[in-house]
Homo-oligomer: A and B are copies of this chain.
């Protein structure tokens, strides 16, 4: 790919990513993508033979960006593994504040809009959810000695994704951070209890 090609290719992906996020996949016309990218349809179809191929490119791009744009910056805020999880959740809160509680999680949106229609989307969204949960699970694994032994960390990572996605959805419907904050506060309460339970069990073990 020439530098010029790469620039056109990336511009199409950036514009499609933004428009799919702003208005959804079905509601985004190819003509709008072309106009906003300043690209003609020949160039689009050279790189992406269909709108679905463009969507596939967008989903791949989200996977490339997961660590550098979502997890790494959040993890850099603190060394405490549990706080790193809440730092990721604070990142989504920040996204909500920037958009006045509109738009939500781009992956969650595509998951609900398209999972049943495009097997490719479902597979890629599944992969993105798994990669996100694997990142969160690294934190849980690093905190394993502070959690009660019975806690299934893989399943807890999924629960954390559930809280993020469900909280974002309600924040959009209410146009308010309040339901997101409420959801994260209850997750915090659950963690406080798990960590207290872990401390009590370790105290019992060292006393016994």
Contacts and interface: CB of A to CB of B under 8 A. Distances in A.
Interface string A90-123: 0000000000001110001101111111000010
Contacts of A23: 116-117
Contacts of A103: 116
Interface stretch (A42-50, A72-80, A163-171): A163-171
A173 B111 contact: yes
Contacts of A164: 166
Classify the interface of chain A: helix, strand, loop or mixed: helix
Contacts of A172: 111-112, 115-116, 122
Given A162-B166, A162-B169, 7 more contacts: A24-B26, A24-B113, A108-B112, A108-B169, A112-B113, A152-B182, A155-B185
Contact of A27 (B26, B102, B152, B183): B26
Given A27-B117, A193-B193, A186 B159 contact: yes
A81 interface: no
Given A116-B103, A166-B166, A158 B179 contact: yes
B115 A112 contact: no
Contacts of A159: 163, 182-183, 186-187
Given A182-B155, A189-B190, A162 B170 contact: yes
